[in-house]
């Protein structure tokens, strides 16, 4: 199995008529995702280039298609509202790809989401989630699908779950695993913002409970204390092998390294502190970004 | 984005927080006049403060106490005559274009208070300490028990009981409690209203007792405000406060082209897509014994023109002795990068070694483009993976240069 998304996941795209929304809706369809429609207010009743129905509201899209997941490409000023609209309409998996949402908006959205305990928000500012499978794979987001490997095709017979704050660095990790014959059950980019939906800990628990997942790779970066918190959680609760990499050892303090959340401030959030916390928790931390696949291999006992 | 002290003090004053008057000056003559004005209002002592974003101004000579108008003029002249170097600016320092002259205030006790984001709890948090006037990071390290934290509800905002409790816990007494609690409430509101990353008063002070104020007055002396860049679209007035003079020209240029670029001190220029991979690329350069010259994330949707500009920015850095390109194509298509490399070779020229590692979307056509261009770009090598790339670039750049 996989976590969060699988062959039963029916996906809509909020912002389907924008250039990014349209492009990645096609990309997800091509990968095999059950894309069932999209939402753009004012364009309800039309169809997109793939023949998917467009709705004015998320609730109409849910009613018309039975969608249970959404991929959001709505521009930053309106993206927080789009997340809440999806939650209100009963969508269970909300993937917010949008980059640049004001932090204060996400603070309020996150507080409001407490009213919707069944909702899983991924992101924002993230590549999305993918569960590769030989038949009925599901990709919700912007990652290149072809680098991923389902467990059934993995030469080692093993598959791992991957959780990452970064986009392209996740692709690097996935590619290194696939090259070594390690498949993936589900890969989640949790996003580079300081306030976000699912975090390392919740996803670790999901992977721990998933029978197909043999190990977990986490990719963190400078800023905040999520990795330190995850390390403590892994030590206490996760029995599956875990490998990790932390980006930003060379990053200077006080400078925001691209991601809104990737900043060392007030002496907190350094790579060294995170690496130490993970190592102390007995987790295999890759020294170099080129060794992420090998670290996972070693953690799985593949030599 | 950071505000200058004079701007931050104004924002606090506008929010109803008592801030002693300060006069911002563009030149030394204005500083002299400012002293005379403040002296006319009863000040016997003034402080001249360089208006730069960097911390550590005092030790760097950016803060001077003055007792006469001529001293104010001299202090301002000295400060504005050369870049100010502090432990936060780097050896080249930052230009001082403005100074602020403020009346000296008698201080009985100093406090620290700020509001920032508590990332772990996804909500604002007020941080306060009765050990004010010093760096809060130091207090946090040496005496963590001296720091109070009050989470603020994202939808309710700070409650009067929370502000009151904090004022008592900080040790305010008598009439001070009401004054301090009001300031804490206003500061919390201001954080949200401004879409700030940080609002900080350091020090918040109590003045010695007088006949008029037997319990002293609670005043904000120095203030710091930084803003959430992502929210500037709804704060035009704040966006106008941006002072480009403290940002390197290369970073401003990069911003114009939608590139995320930060200049560093090393010799290996890095061009990468994605912030995480860009940091990881810097890390692997360092692991192989060299130092990165920059952080550069071209993003997912940069045009060929923007990527060409990225090469120009990297190559304009005189410290750069070699360039490492690391692209894992997702949204970004590798062939676009390959074409930009060819364009940069023509328009800018690669005199230094160039190592290119491409993987992901459209990697095959990209490799063909580079193969064809190889003879025109003799300094270029291609790499198969990250380690190979790091090895090749560090081998190509002489150790003494690195």
Residues A151, A159: contact at Cβ < 8 Å?
yes
Residues of B in contact with A171 (CB under 8 A): 328, 330, 359-360
Segments forming the whole domain that contains residue B32: 21-104
Same domain? For B377 and B265 the reply is yes
The answer to whether residue B39 is domain-embedded is: yes
pLDDT digits (tens, 9 = 90+) for A190-241: 999 999 999 999 999 999 999 999 999 999 999 999 999 999 999 999 999 9
The answer to whether residue B155 is domain-embedded is: yes
What is the pLDDT at residue A137? 94
Same domain? For B236 and B111 the reply is yes
Same domain? For B274 and B375 the reply is yes
Same domain? For B331 and B225 the reply is no
Same domain? For B288 and B340 the reply is yes
State how far the alpha carbon of B117 is from the alpha carbons of A6, A200, A292, B122, B133, in Å: 35, 19, 31, 7, 22
Residue A159's H or E segment, with its range, is strand A158-164
Indicate whether B402 pLDDT > 60. no
Nearest chain B residue to A112 by CA distance is B155
Q: How far is A64 from chain B (nearest CA, A)?
A: 30
Same domain? For B92 and B110 the reply is no
Final residue of a structural domain among B246, B270, B300: B246
Strands A182-189 and A158-164, bridge-based pairing: parallel
Indicate whether A263 pLDDT > 90. no
The verdict on whether omega for the bond into residue B388 sits within 30 degrees of 0, i.e. cis, is no
Q: Round to whole Å and give the CA distance between A301 and A299.
A: 5
Nearest chain A residue to B260 by CA distance is A258
What is the pLDDT at residue B138? 82
Q: What are the helix (H) ranges across chain A?
A: 19-31, 58-65, 76-88, 103-112, 168-179, 200-209, 226-237, 271-280, 292-299
Query: Do residue A289 and residue B230 have CB atoms under 8 angstroms apart?
Result: no
Same domain? For B172 and B192 the reply is yes
Indicate whether A250 pLDDT > 50. yes
Q: Round to whole Å and give the CA distance between B383 and B97.
A: 47
Residues of B in contact with A142 (CB under 8 A): 300, 330-331
Query: Do residue A103 and residue B195 have CB atoms under 8 angstroms apart?
Result: yes
Final residue of a structural domain among B87, B104, B121: B104
Question: Which of A104, A167, A195 has the CB atom closest to B330's CB atom?
Answer: A167
Over residues B220-240, the mean pLDDT reads 94
Report, as residue numbers or ranges, the catalytic residues of B: 112, 200
pLDDT band at B286 (very low <50, low <70, confident <90, very high): very high
Final residue of a structural domain among B52, B76, B104: B104
Over residues B325-343, the mean pLDDT reads 89
Question: Which of B122, B278, B385 has the CB atom closest to A110's CB atom?
Answer: B122
Total structural domains within chain B = 3
Question: Which of A100, A108, A260 has the CB atom closest to B154's CB atom?
Answer: A108
Over residues B200-224, the mean pLDDT reads 94
Q: Round to whole Å and give the CA distance between B58 and B35.
A: 19
Strands A10-14 and A34-39, bridge-based pairing: parallel
Q: What are the helix (H) ranges across B89-147?
A: 136-142
What is the pLDDT at residue B320? 95
What is the pLDDT at residue B400? 53
What is the pLDDT at residue B21? 84
pLDDT digits (tens, 9 = 90+) for B17-67: 999 989 999 999 999 999 999 999 988 999 999 999 888 888 888 999 999
What is the pLDDT at residue A114? 95
pLDDT digits (tens, 9 = 90+) for A59-108: 999 999 999 999 999 999 999 999 999 999 999 999 999 999 999 999 99
Over residues B179-189, the mean pLDDT reads 98
Indicate whether B316 pLDDT > 60. yes
The answer to whether residue B310 is domain-embedded is: yes
Same domain? For B258 and B368 the reply is yes
Q: How far is B111 from chain A (nearest CA, A)?
A: 18
- Interface test mutation site (partner B, options A146, A148, A165, A168, max chain B beta carbons within 10 A): A168
Residues B315, B266: contact at Cβ < 8 Å?
no
The answer to whether residue B401 is domain-embedded is: no
pLDDT mean across residues, chain A: 95
Residue B177's H or E segment, with its range, is helix B175-193
Nearest chain B residue to A248 by CA distance is B279
Residues of B in contact with A165 (CB under 8 A): 276
pLDDT above 70 as % of chain B: 99
What is the pLDDT at residue B60? 86
Report, as residue numbers or ranges, the catalytic residues of A: 259
What is the pLDDT at residue B401? 47
Nearest chain A residue to B385 by CA distance is A290
* Of A294, A123, A121, residue with least CA distance to A194: A123
The answer to whether residue B29 is domain-embedded is: yes
pLDDT digits (tens, 9 = 90+) for A112-157: 999 999 999 999 999 999 999 988 899 999 999 999 999 999 999 9
User: By three-state DSSP, how is residue B84 classified?
Assistant: strand
Instruction: Please report, for the domain that includes residue B52, its CATH number.
Output: 3.30.1490.20
Same domain? For B128 and B199 the reply is yes
Query: Do residue A168 and residue B273 have CB atoms under 8 angstroms apart?
Result: yes
Instruction: Please report, for the domain that includes residue B221, its CATH number.
Output: 3.30.470.20
Cα dihedral A15→A167→B229→B27 (10° resolution): -140
Same domain? For B342 and B362 the reply is yes
pLDDT band at B232 (very low <50, low <70, confident <90, very high): very high
What is the pLDDT at residue B86? 85
Query: Do residue B120 and residue A102 have CB atoms under 8 angstroms apart?
Result: no
The answer to whether residue B375 is domain-embedded is: yes
And the tokens for A14?
Answer: 């909020």
DSSP for residue A12? E
Q: How far is A11 from chain B (nearest CA, A)?
A: 20
Indicate whether B369 pLDDT > 60. yes
The DSSP code sequence of B21-76 is: -EEEESSHHHHHHHHHHHHHTT-S-EEEEE--S-S-HHHHT-EEEESSHHHHHHHH
* Of A206, A133, A159, A148, residue with least CA distance to A302: A159
Size of interface A-B (CB pairs under 8 A): 179
Residues A62, B219: contact at Cβ < 8 Å?
no
State how far the alpha carbon of A247 is from the alpha carbons of A221, A290, B387, B402, in Å: 4, 12, 15, 22
Residues A98, B301: contact at Cβ < 8 Å?
no
What is the pLDDT at residue B135? 79
What is the pLDDT at residue B139? 84
Residues B31, B76: contact at Cβ < 8 Å?
yes
Residues B76, B99: contact at Cβ < 8 Å?
yes
Q: Round to whole Å and give the CA distance between B111 and B281.
A: 42
Residues of A in contact with B260 (CB under 8 A): 258
Query: Do residue A248 and residue B283 have CB atoms under 8 angstroms apart?
Result: yes
* Of B198, B62, B136, B161, residue with least CA distance to A104: B198
Nearest chain A residue to B292 by CA distance is A250
What is the pLDDT at residue B398? 73
Same domain? For B159 and B180 the reply is yes
Instruction: Please report, for the domain that includes residue B368, its CATH number.
Output: 3.40.50.261
Question: Which of A102, A127, A224 has the CB atom closest to B231's CB atom?
Answer: A102
CA atoms within 13 A on the CB side of B15: 23
Same domain? For B165 and B225 the reply is yes
Residues A131, B243: contact at Cβ < 8 Å?
no
Q: Round to whole Å and give the CA distance between B271 and B225.
A: 32
- Interface test mutation site (partner A, options B86, B279, B337, B389, max chain A beta carbons within 10 A): B279
pLDDT digits (tens, 9 = 90+) for A30-64: 999 999 999 999 999 999 999 999 999 999 999 99
């Amino acid at each position: 199995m996989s976590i969060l998304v699988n062959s039963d996941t029916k996906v809509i795209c909020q912002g389907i008529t924008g250039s990014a929304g349209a492009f990645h809706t096609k990309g997800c369809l091509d990968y095999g995702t059950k894309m069932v429609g999209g939402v753009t207010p004012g364009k309800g009743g039309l169809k997109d280039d793939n023949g998917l129905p467009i709705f004015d509201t998320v609730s109409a899209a849910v009613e018309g298609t039975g969608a249970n997941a959404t991929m959001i490409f709505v521009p930053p000023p309106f993206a927080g509202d789009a997340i809440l609209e999806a939650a209100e309409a009963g969508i269970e998996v909300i993937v917010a790809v949008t980059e640049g949402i004001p932090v204060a908006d996400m603070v309020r959205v996150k507080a409001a989401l407490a009213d919707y305990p069944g909702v899983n928000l991924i992101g924002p500012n993230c590549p999305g989630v993918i569960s590769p499978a030989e038949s009925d794979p599901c990709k919700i987001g912007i990652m290149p699908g072809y680098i991923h490997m389902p467990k059934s095709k993995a030469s080692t017979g093993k598959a791992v779950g991957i959780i990452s704050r970064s986009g392209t660095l996740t692709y690097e990790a996935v590619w290194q695993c696939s090259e070594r014959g390690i498949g993936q059950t589900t890969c989640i980019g949790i996003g580079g913002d300081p306030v976000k939906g699912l975090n390392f800990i919740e996803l670790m628990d999901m992977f721990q409970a998933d029978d197909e997942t043999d190990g977990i790779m986490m990719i963190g970066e400078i800023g905040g204390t999520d990795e330190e918190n995850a390390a403590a959680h892994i030590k206490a609760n996760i029995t599956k092998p875990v490998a990790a990499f932390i980006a930003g050892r060379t990053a200077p303090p006080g400078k925001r390294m691209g991601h809104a959340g990737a900043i060392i401030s007030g002496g907190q959030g350094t790579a060294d502190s995170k690496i130490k916390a993970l190592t102390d928790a007995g987790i295999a931390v890759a020294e170099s970004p080129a060794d992420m696949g090998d670290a996972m291999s070693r953690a799985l006992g593949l030599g | 984005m950071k505000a200058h002290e004079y701007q931050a003090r104004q924002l606090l004053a506008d929010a109803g927080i008592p801030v002693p008057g300060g006069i911002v000056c563009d030149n030394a003559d204005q500083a002299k006049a400012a002293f005379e004005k403040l002296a006319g209002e009863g000040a016997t002592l003034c402080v001249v403060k360089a208006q730069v974003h960097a911390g550590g101004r005092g030790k760097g000579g950016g803060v001077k106490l003055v007792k006469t108008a001529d001293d104010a003029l001299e202090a301002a002249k000295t400060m504005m005559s050369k870049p100010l170097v502090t432990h936060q600016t780097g050896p080249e320092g930052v230009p001082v274009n403005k100074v602020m002259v403020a009346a000296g205030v008698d201080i009985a006790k100093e406090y620290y208070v700020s509001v920032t984001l508590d990332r772990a709890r996804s909500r604002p948090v007020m941080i306060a300490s009765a050990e004010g006037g010093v760096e809060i990071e130091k207090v946090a390290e040496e005496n963590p028990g001296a720091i109070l934290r009050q989470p603020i509800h994202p939808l309710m905002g700070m409650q009067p009981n929370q502000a009151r409790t904090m004022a008592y816990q900080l040790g305010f007494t008598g009439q001070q409690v009401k004054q301090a609690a009001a300031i804490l409430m206003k500061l919390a509101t201001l954080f949200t209203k401004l879409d700030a990353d940080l609002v900080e008063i350091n020090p918040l002070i109590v003045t010695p007792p007088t006949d008029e104020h037997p319990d002293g007055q609670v005043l904000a002396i120095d203030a710091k405000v930084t803003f959430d860049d992502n929210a500037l679209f709804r704060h035009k007035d704040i966006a106008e406060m941006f002072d480009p003079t403290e940002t390197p020209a290369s970073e401003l240029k990069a911003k114009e082209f939608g590139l995320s670029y930060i200049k560093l001190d090393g010799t290996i220029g890095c061009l990468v897509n994605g912030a995480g991979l860009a940091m990881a690329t810097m890390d692997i350069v360092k692991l192989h014994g060299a130092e990165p010259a920059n952080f550069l994330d071209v993003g997912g949707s940069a045009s060929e023109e923007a990527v060409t500009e990225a090469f120009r920015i990297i190559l304009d850095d005189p410290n750069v002795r070699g360039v490492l390109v690391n692209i894992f194509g997702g949204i970004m298509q590798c062939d676009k990068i390959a074409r930009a490399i060819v364009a940069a070779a023509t328009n800018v020229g690669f005199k230094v070694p160039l190592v290119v590692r491409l993987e992901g979307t459209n990697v095959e056509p990209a490799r063909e483009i580079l193969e064809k261009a190889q003879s025109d770009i003799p300094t270029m090598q291609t790499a198969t993976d990250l380690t190979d790339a790091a090895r090749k670039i560090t081998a190509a750049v002489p150790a003494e240069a690195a």
